Structure 1
Amino acid sequence: MPPRERVWLAAAVIGWVAVNAAVLLLAPGHAPFDWPAQHDPPSGPGQVIAAQLALGELLLLAVVAYVLTRRRPNPAIAERVPPRPTAHRELWLLVAYGVLAQLGGLFLGRALGWHPIGFHLAGTLVGTADPVRPAEAIGWAGYNGLCYALLPYLWFRRRYTARQLCLRSADRRGDTVLILVVLALESLAQWAALGHAFAGLTAGQIALGAPVTFVLYLAGTVLPTVIFVQGLLVPRYARLTGSTTGTLVLGGLTYAALHVFEGWGRLGSPREFVLTILFVLLIYVLPGAFKTWLTVRTGNAWVHAWAYHAVAPHTMHDTGLVVRIFRL
């Protein structure tokens, strides 16, 4: 392993251990979050165990993705962006833009009497005791789709081709096989963890709610991840770090950072704020890194969207939430 990869790997391992230890230290019992959709109240030990299980699952999926793509030419996504000075400038402009978009979502959501507008609709994956109205759900999807997908795409598409933005497949058959295999495995994992994904819903509610959920989350989190994270930031991480491991680490951290203003987060005290950040890291760094792995292996940012985002987990997991919001 090259020295640069070893450094990034060591940093990732040390950081992961530190986050887990901090969660156990600050929340040895229940954590101050309201997760009504979960079987048990959130706790430090429970979340640490869940994170290690997720790590094992995603390592398995990463191996599967590697095996399915091992004979492909290297997509070399780092070469799709300009040399370092330009890539560096574009990266920091994107980071600054992302911070402003996050703060804008926080203040706009509060001004309208909603939850903060983050990368997930309030209640996603964990449920919420606070009511979410249709206007908030539509506003969340519209804000994120505009700020993180449409505007960045229009700006960069004037300068770069679809291939340079990782939005065009170089191997449609191979990408399709990879998508179907990962989607099948992840769907089975979701089913094993959650039981019947649509429990409590009638056939009519599923028929109406699943397409609405798919479209809502496509605009609100899937397309923003495809464009802003995987299409724009990840290739620049690859160019500037010169490291696959570094690219995965930064991709995972970026994905987690975009979820800081989750509807379940608590910012009222220093302990609550720190625990919110730590829980976000435990929950989202690994999925973000795996999404980045799929892009690095295929050069196609769409692969993660269909294999490990739009359908599983969101349509499977959040149709019940959308049915309740829209009273379907």
Structure 2
Amino acid sequence: MLNSKSKHYLYAVFGYIVISAVSYILLNQFGAPFVAHQPLVKDASATDRFWDLQAAALWGLILIGIIVIITRSYRNKQLNSPDRVSSKKEIFLLLGYMVFAQLLGLGIGKLFDFHAISFHLAGSIYGNHGKIMLSEMLVWSCYNFIMYVVLPLVYFISKKGYTLSQLNIISNKNILRDMTVIIIILIIESIVQLEGLSDALLNLSPRQIIFGGFMAFIFNLFGTAIPTAVFLFAILYPRFKAVTNSAVTPIILGGLTYTALHFFDSWMVFSSSGAFLASLSALFMQYFMPGVVKSVLTDRTGNPWVHMWAYHVFVPHVIIDTPHFVDSFNIQ
């Protein structure tokens, strides 16, 4: 007989296979309208894109195995969370707030004639790779930082009486041990992304790498990396663990929530039901596994900041997005 943990693993694998099969059908039926906007893959078919995403998911599983191995000696790594009843109430509050913030970001983007404000700046991963105005970058990064970092912390500290330690913002974990994990994963993932995703960074001049990389780092740090670390992994994820009391379910929920936070990314196409379904399929395959990897890093280390340095702000955003910032700022 399988134990509860094994059953959860099997359910997760089966669910992913089913969703992938449906995604394959949808992408082949309706095409991949978002792909044409990315110069690197403008001639790729929907099938090519599907298998590229599946390869990325397979690498995610391998990376999870590496994370488990290098954190096997971790002990007493639990994140702080309230009791189960309080956690359940706060989960609904946080998820409702997330939907509101995403819809408001859509509205503000339209108001200023920008792209919708989601968790990736327009031009990141897919979408419009033309120049993005500085004003749009500033609005995007400031909005996400205020909505997903400042306001949640103000509410939970001033209204609910939590401390920064109770919200996992301040970590008393072993810093040297966490730095080891960060460095190992950062090196491995940097090599993989430069070899398998894009080596455009290596074609830039030293000046472009320095100044473009700095801009990519700063804007993505405040626009997506810190918001993800604080809202999802410091506050929401520990409450998933408290409510589910499971080793697997919180990780799955972390992956799904991370996916939902990118719902209005600029490459999503809503022009028809077919285009939307194809985009939705790619959304899941693009972000679910990275969200799972971030969840595992957080779960294994008990520190919501580890994933940010090891697997977010530098890779992919500095490595992949620097050419985009070089182009937008016309850095010679």
Residue in 2 that maps onto 1:150: 150
Shift of 1:202: 2.1
Quickly say closer, same or farther: Cα 1:251–1:2, change in 2 above 3 A: farther
Letter in 1 for 2:109: G
Quickly say closer, same or farther: Cα 1:292–1:220, change in 2 above 3 A: same
CA distance in 1, matches of 2:291, 2:176: 24
Shift of 1:122: 0.7
Q: Describe how 1:1-328 pairs up with structure 2 within 5 A.
A: 3-28=3-28, 30-33=31-34, 34-77=36-79, 80-129=80-129, 131-158=131-158, 159-167=161-169, 168-328=171-331
CA distance in 2, matches of 1:44, 1:14: 23
Q: CA RMSD in A?
A: 1.9
CA distance in 2, matches of 1:299, 1:216: 26
Letter in 2 for 1:308: Y
Shift of 1:7: 4.0
C-alpha contact 1:230 1:301 (8 A) present in aligned 2: yes
Letter in 2 for 1:51: L
CA distance in 1, matches of 2:16, 2:213: 35
C-alpha contact 1:37 1:128 (8 A) present in aligned 2: no
C-alpha contact 1:230 1:295 (8 A) present in aligned 2: yes
Shift of 1:12: 1.9
C-alpha contact 2:127 2:266 (8 A) present in aligned 1: no
Shift of 1:266: 0.6
Shift of 1:198: 1.1
Shift of 1:276: 1.5
Aligned length: 326
Deviations 1:106-146 (A, max 9, x none): 11101111111010001102352554211111111111011
C-alpha contact 1:230 1:292 (8 A) present in aligned 2: yes
Which deviates further from its counterpart, 222-231 or 20-29? Answer: 20-29
Say which SS state the counterpart of residue 215 (structure 1) adopts: helix
Letter in 2 for 1:213: A
C-alpha contact 2:237 2:250 (8 A) present in aligned 1: yes
CA distance in 1, matches of 2:70, 2:303: 14
Shift of 1:94: 0.3
Q: Which runs of 5+ in 2 are unaligned?
A: none
Q: Taking structure 2 as the reference length, what is the TM-score of the superposition?
A: 0.92
Quickly say closer, same or farther: Cα 1:323–1:128, change in 2 above 3 A: same
C-alpha contact 1:145 1:224 (8 A) present in aligned 2: yes
Shift of 1:153: 2.1
Deviations 1:204-241 (A, max 9, x none): 22221111110100011001100011011110111111
Letter in 2 for 1:111: L
* Structure 1 residue ranges (4+ consecutive) displaced by more than 3 angstroms after TM superposition: 1-4, 39-44
Letter in 1 for 2:249: G
Letter in 1 for 2:33: P
CA distance in 1, matches of 2:42, 2:275: 19
C-alpha contact 2:129 2:324 (8 A) present in aligned 1: no
Shift of 1:55: 2.4
Query: Percent same amino acid among aligned pairs?
Result: 34
Say which SS state the counterpart of residue 138 (structure 1) adopts: helix
Which deviates further from its counterpart, 149-158 or 90-99? Answer: 149-158
Quickly say closer, same or farther: Cα 1:322–1:272, change in 2 above 3 A: same
CA distance in 1, matches of 2:5, 2:52: 27
